């Protein structure tokens, strides 16, 4: 059904550390758009075909535990039972923190006569982001990062997938290329992102990119340079985990004709997932990274 015919119910989720606002979506297809962030979609609740919760589309499947089969309820705190058939064909417990409107800001969703809003309270925990607002730049910018912690992607691979073990990390849908060897259009964001050397990293086909490390090891994401590869008006969303707990999230606007400095300073994490989406078409977009500071 068209988004204009959907009804949005806004839920306020309260905790001792932060207030979390989330939204339900009615008469929206599974994974259908429900947010201004194209990285979010509607997850149908277990046992329901026309009611869902708006959340981040790219949680790590292995972190989602099955719901109680007899009651479609979740034993884990701060989770809700939803359908997520991209991961498994049984209902899974989805973290409430990934439904927050700071990740998935609501879009106006009304029927022909009225907009319906409701509120309720649920106990949860949520870590708010402390990311520094990005700085746009058209020239290479030196970041406060030691050589041992700076990943420039020089000779990381040969226009291929970055191998697991590169800087002792695991890389999912992360590729690298030499912009001097594999030339792009002069207006391509592959050139805009170059900060040092000639190599950059990117996500293939606009799918999400994940960097992770096996527990109990952790790593830190301090900052990086980024541009959109082919389009302007792109939103880059990032969400991180400490163990099985979702830690922090942030979203920033990026474009193809400039590089943007993103400073996160997220410490002691196990996983970070990146996803870029076009603000107009809501399709996944390729983004380009250089000078990743750990």
pLDDT confidence of residue 124: 30
Contact 276, 286 (CB under 8 A): yes
More confident residue, 258 or 111: 258
Q: Which long-range contacts (CB under 8 A, 24 or more apart) does 174-177 make?
A: 174/201, 174/202, 174/203, 174/209, 174/210, 174/211, 175/201, 175/202, 175/203, 175/204, 176/200, 176/201, 176/202, 177/202
- Burial class of 29 by CB neighbour count within 10 A (0 to 12, 13 to 18, 19+): middle
| Residue 132 pLDDT level (bands cut at 50, 70, 90) | low
Contact 285, 276 (CB under 8 A): yes
Residues of the chain with CATH 2.60.120: 132-293
pLDDT confidence of residue 96: 84
Residue 101: partners with Cβ closer than 8 Å, 6 or more residues away: 10, 21, 22, 23, 35
Q: Where are the beta strands (DSSP E) in 74-156?
A: 79-82, 92-95, 132-137, 150-151
- Burial class of 172 by CB neighbour count within 10 A (0 to 12, 13 to 18, 19+): middle
241: helix, coil or strand? strand
d(CA 137, CA 157): 27
pLDDT confidence of residue 16: 33
More confident residue, 64 or 138: 64
Q: Where are the beta strands (DSSP E) in 57-184?
A: 79-82, 92-95, 132-137, 150-151, 160-161, 170-172, 175-178
For the chain, the straight-line distance linking the first and the last C-alpha, in angstroms and rounded, comes to 44
Phi-psi label, residue 231: left if phi above 0, alpha if psi -120 to 50, beta otherwise:
beta
Phi, psi angles (nearest 5°) of residue 234: -115, 140
Query: CA 284: distance to chain centroid?
Result: 11
d(CA 91, CA 46): 6
The model's pLDDT over 9-52, given as tens digits with 9 standing for 90+, comes to 444 443 333 445 778 888 899 999 888 887 889 999 988 888 89
- Fold of the domain built from segment(s) 132-293: Jelly Rolls (2.60.120)
More confident residue, 211 or 126: 211
For residue 66, give the DSSP letter: B
């Amino acid at each position: 059904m068209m988004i204009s015919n959907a009804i949005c119910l806004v839920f306020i989720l309260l905790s001792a550390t932060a207030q979390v606002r989330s939204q339900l979506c009615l008469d929206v297809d599974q994974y259908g758009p429900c947010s201004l962030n194209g990285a979010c979609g509607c997850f149908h609740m277990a046992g329901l075909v026309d009611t869902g919760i708006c959340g981040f589309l790219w949680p790590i499947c292995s972190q989602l535990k099955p719901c109680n089969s007899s009651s479609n309820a979740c034993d884990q705190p701060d989770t809700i039972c939803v359908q997520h058939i991209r991961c498994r064909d049984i209902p899974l417990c989805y973290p409430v923190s990934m439904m927050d409107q700071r990740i998935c800001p609501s879009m106006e969703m009304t029927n022909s006569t009225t907009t319906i809003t409701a509120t309720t309270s649920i106990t949860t925990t949520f870590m708010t982001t402390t990311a520094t607002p990005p700085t746009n730049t058209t020239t290479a910018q030196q970041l406060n990062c030691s050589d041992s912690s700076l990943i420039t992607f020089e000779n990381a691979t040969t226009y291929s997938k970055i191998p697991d073990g590169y800087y002792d990390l695991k890389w999912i849908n992360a590729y690298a290329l030499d912009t001097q060897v594999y030339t792009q259009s002069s207006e391509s964001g592959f050139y805009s992102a170059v900060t040092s050397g000639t190599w950059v990293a990117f996500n293939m086909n606009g799918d999400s990119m994940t960097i992770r490390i096996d527990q109990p090891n952790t790593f830190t994401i301090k900052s990086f340079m980024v541009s959109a590869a082919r389009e302007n008006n792109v939103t880059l969303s990032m969400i991180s985990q400490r163990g099985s707990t979702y830690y922090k999230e942030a979203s920033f606007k990026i474009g193809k004709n400039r590089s943007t400095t993103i400073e996160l300073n997220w410490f002691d994490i196990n996983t970070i997932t990146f996803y870029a989406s076009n603000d107009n078409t809501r399709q996944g977009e390729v983004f380009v990274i250089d000078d990743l500071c750990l």
